[in-house]
Structure 1
């Protein structure tokens, strides 16, 4: 009888031991999952997106790899799209609105000077009071291959015309815009995107995905503007 009681006692302990072991394993699994979720959140907060340049000149951002090199076509595409955006105006896209949105594509140090140049290009020399009957469109003829002037800095030459249409004048007037344009790589996102972006903001954000900024613009014939080549 004593032997039977001992065996029954051992048998009744085994299920309890199995249940306790399973519970311990589940608790350990939950703790590991909790730690993993915390690490994932920290990783998202501390990892910056990096640039990926496509062969056709487009640029997208992915995680993560710091890089200040840019393909020539990426630089040329950025300059062409940025200048076209900033120098094309109409009633629906007045120069003041365009500048407020696209100025993120220009370094803070160069923004005041470039804003003055843009104002001088408007038909009435006023950025805020743009004539609604006027349209000004930048038409680019040529953008040269980039010349690297320092690490993460390049220069291109742009030949373009700004077509000015007033009222019913469909022939328009052509103003040459021939410039040396200097750009530099940026290690962070260039343009921000609000919660409900308008088309201009979407355009500036897409152009800014190249992570480049304009830091100087000079007339094409201005020899004093050029920087020393490496």
Structure 2
């Protein structure tokens, strides 16, 4: 009788241990599955594109829009800011503090290779602003600007020094040509001035700029980042880039019918600025 009771107790104990082991194992599997799901969710959040916001005219809370949508005023401001920075050649570095505003540092320029094979300098502000240009277009554009930039821009001698300024006369409203792509016409003059006698050379600079929306991931900069790195970083915050520049075909109206525009472009086989 005693042996029978011991056998029953042993069976019950083994059954309880087996049930406990199965329950523990199942719980561990469940926890592992939850960890995997959580990890996948975190990865999806890290890869998700940041939403775009547009400030409403009446001051309401910014509204999330399509990732390719951009406000027309923002596009115009981006084009104006980028082109002005690229073609305003003062011979000085952009000021970083109040002291440098009163006493600017001379710009040594940044050397790039020209289309003809030689090396020429572009201004530091031009080089920084060029990061708002698409990567496949940026190198050729810098080479062309280097050939346009007079060496006297970097001369320390005031009698030889030349400055330049892009005077934008008119910036046409952006025309949407495809989802996330716009065409912006610019009528401007590139005014070069010799400081010694204020003689000026005015060159018409009428261009068609093709702009497109791009992704931007705001990676934080370290505290010891240089002013140059911060400036380059800031050029991409508009989530826009210029991917082509053409000579602007001036006709009666910029927003003319498509057949007139095509005819105007066809009559100028060399209408592209660089391409």
Assess same fold via TM > 0.5.
yes
| Cα deviation, residue 216, structure 1 | 0.2
- Count of matched residue positions in the alignment of Structure 1 and Structure 2: 182
Aligned equivalents of 2:219, 2:129: Cα separation in 1: 8
2:163: which partner in 1?
135
Residues 1-230 of structure 1 mapped to structure 2, 5 A cutoff? 45-54=46-55, 67-93=67-93, 94=109, 95-124=122-151, 130-132=154-156, 133-189=161-217, 195=223, 196-198=225-227, 205-221=233-249, 223-224=265-266
Equivalent-residue separation in structure 2 for 1:141 and 1:191 (angstroms): 36
Bigger shift: residues 45-54 or 162-171: 45-54
The structural deviation recorded for 1:150 is 0.9
Higher relative contact order (CA 8 A, sep 6+): 1
Q: 1:201 and 1:208, CA in 2 relative to 1: closer, same or farther beyond 3 A? A: same
Q: Deviating runs (4+, > 4 A) in structure 1?
A: 38-48, 189-195, 200-207
TM-fit CA distance, 1:73? 0.8
C-alpha distance 67-48 of structure 1, shift in aligned 2 (>3 A): closer
Shift of 1:98: 2.4
Report the CA distance between 1:48 and its aligned residue: 4.4
Cα RMSD, aligned residues only: 3.6
1-structure distance, mates of 2:226, 2:233: 10
What SS class does the counterpart of residue 109 from structure 1 fall into? Answer: helix
**2:209–2:246 Cα contact (<8 Å) kept:** yes
Structure-2 change in CA distance of 1:144 and 1:204 (3 Å): farther
Structure 1 spans left out of the alignment, 5+ residues? 1-34, 57-61
